Amino acid sequence: MTQSGERDEVDAVVVGAGPNGLAAAVTLARAGLKVRVYERDDRAGGGAATRELTLPGFLHDVCSAVHPLAFMSRFFREFGLAQRVPFVTPDVSYAHPLDGGRAGIAYLDLTRTREELGRDGRAWERLMRPLVDRAGAVAELTGSPLLRIPRDPLTAVAFGLRTLEQGTPAWNVRFHGEAAPAMLTGITAHSILPQPSLAAAGAGLTLGAYAHARGWPIPIGGSQSIVDALVDDLRAHGGELVTGRHVRSLRELPAARVTLLDVTPRALISMAGSRMPQRYRRALEGFRYGDGVAKIDFALSDPVPWANAEVRRAGTVHVGGTRAELAASENDVSRGRLPESPYVLASQPSVFDESRAPRGRHTLWTYTHVPAGSAEDRQEAVIRQIERFAPGFRDTILATSSRSAVEVEQHNPNYPGGDIAAGTPSLRQIIRRPVLGAEPWRTPMPGVYLASASVAPGPGVHGLAGWFAALSALRHEFGSRALPDLSPRP
């Protein structure tokens, strides 16, 4: 044994205990390998950590809060996440407040959404119904490298045509009112990309389909519950987790058959040093990082007093006004400017999960988009924007925790400049993520694999990048093509 209590011999080393790193580790451990995970922080979590950020007893999700992919990711379905972690799925997947107390409401029930949208209701249903009915196929299409031939060509065509419509200046053709197009832009803006654009439309339509197919679930106890389930399974199958260990070089790692890295290409270049072939280094140096987020968490005395009562039932709220206003805000960010009227992505988990705050109190989670590397504190801008649609919100604030994009990166180096996607999810970088190839997780360095959101299929708490990297490693390093059984066991 080493001085730290670690085993001397391991088959596989994983760096990074976020959802992708842990997905890789669990997969390898289930295949019978001795696995060790190194994590920089003092606790596993990464993009799915939950911490007390404001006041004692108030639990805030550090990055992701709501999990549309929890029930749709193939890895999580194989892992049986829904059987391991309690979730609550709001009847209102997301809401989009507008001025004058109006709002667009995306109910889990697509038919009800159509009825509430009035004259744009049928247009909304025609847009979404083919994707909602084929949500599993949409998940398969968008959760795999785009170089692969789609298993369901009809879904690919339906998805592609709708992406072409909503990703171009034709995006308003089918709509007449304000609510429906604003609702769509609220979800396409999750991508932190210019509006309209094809990549943003594809991401938004995927999330929109899940909103009506399985909903946008919230884990009881916070996103940390997902991470804890992965850690428990890893340890149950002989794996180790070493926290508080910042790995800066591959030379620091113990000898192992495979090394899987839940890091960005930028970090991989630094860690590999002269071991990395120059051609691959040049390819990774061409990988582009996107704009960032400023994160503001609130401890509240009461629920957010949204002017529209239905918005209070939503797990997620997109704040920022009309489609035109949201597009202007997001395009300001892409041009390197801070918008005066920002887009705010908000979640109010304590409305559905009493464990998040002391009795009678509440938490509010918010992001707003900013240019990469911004050091600006956007707390006041976010409060003003929420107050616009929830008069009296300011009076409910007990405490706040505010992080600029620079501080977001300081907390998690996988978010360069505050880029929570770990690389801009443009169309080019969805196809080349981070390089063009059938197995982009495999590097030219023997036994070294990239297993982060910077590699296909891209950002999101889905575990797929880690799972695919682990399966690739099992094929190439151990000669195994069998899918390890990940299902829950006593």
pLDDT digits (tens, 9 = 90+) for 441-455: 999 999 999 999 999
Query: Domain boundary residue among 411, 440, 465?
Result: 411
Residues 399 and 355 in one domain: yes
Are the beta carbons of 157 and 131 closer than 8 angstroms? no
146 part of a folded domain: yes
Q: What mean pLDDT is reported for the chain?
A: 96
358 found inside a domain: yes
Residue 214 and residue 310 in one domain: yes
Residues 461 and 370 in one domain: no
Number of domains in the chain: 2
Asked if 213 and 348 sit in the same domain, the reply is yes
Q: Is the domain of 300 the same as that of 437?
A: no
Q: Residue 433 belongs to a domain with what CATH number?
A: 3.50.50.60
Residue 425 and residue 331 share a domain:
no
Return the HEC string of the chain: CCCCCCCCCCCEEEECCCHHHHHHHHHHHHCCCCEEEECCCCCCCHHHCEEECCCCCCEEECCCCCCCCCCCCHHHHHHCHHHHCCEECCCEEEEEECHHHCEEEEECCHHHHHHHCHHHHHHHHHHHHHHHHCHHHHHHHHCCCCCCCCCCHHHHHHHHHHHHHHCCHHHHCCCCCCHHHHHHHHHHHHHCCCCCCHHHHHHHHHHHHHHHHCCCCEECCCCHHHHHHHHHHHHHCCCEEECCCCCCCHHHCCCCCEEEECCCHHHHHHHHHHHCCHHHHHHHHCCCCCCEEEEEEEEECCCCCCCCHHHHHEEEEEECCCHHHHHHHHHHHHCCCCCCCCCEEEECHHHCCHHHCCCCCEEEEEEEEECCCCCCCCHHHHHHHHHHHCCCHHHHEEEEEEECHHHHHHHCCCCHHHCCCCCCCCHHHHHCCCCCCCCCCECCCCCEEECCCCCCCCCCCCCHHHHHHHHHHHHHHHCCCCCCCCCCCC
Residue 490 has a pLDDT of 63
Whether 17 is covered by a domain: the verdict is yes
Has residue 61 been placed in a domain? no
Same domain, 247 and 387: no
CATH value at residue 389:
3.90.660
Q: What is the pLDDT of residue 149?
A: 73
Q: Please state, in angstroms and rounded to a whole number, the distance separating the CA atoms of residues 434 and 421.
A: 12
Give me the pLDDT at residue 8, please. 66
- Please list the ranges in the chain whose pLDDT falls under 70: 1-8, 146-147, 490
**306 shares its domain with 160:** yes
Query: Do residues 314 and 201 share a domain?
Result: yes
Q: Which domain holds residue 276?
A: 12-48+222-287+421-478
What is the pLDDT at residue 2?
Answer: 38
Boundary residue ending a domain (411, 429, 447): 411
Q: Are residues 163 and 257 in the same domain?
A: no
pLDDT at 1 (0 to 100): 31
The pTM of this model reads: 0.96
pLDDT tens figures, 66-80:
999 999 999 999 999
Co-location of 32 and 132 in the same domain: no
- Domain end: 411, 430, 454, which one? 411
Instruction: Establish if 300 belongs to a structural domain.
Output: yes
Asked if residue 297 is part of any domain, the answer here is yes
Does residue 65 lie in a domain region?
no
- Asked if 472 and 384 sit in the same domain, the reply is no
Per the domain annotation, does 339 fall within a domain? yes
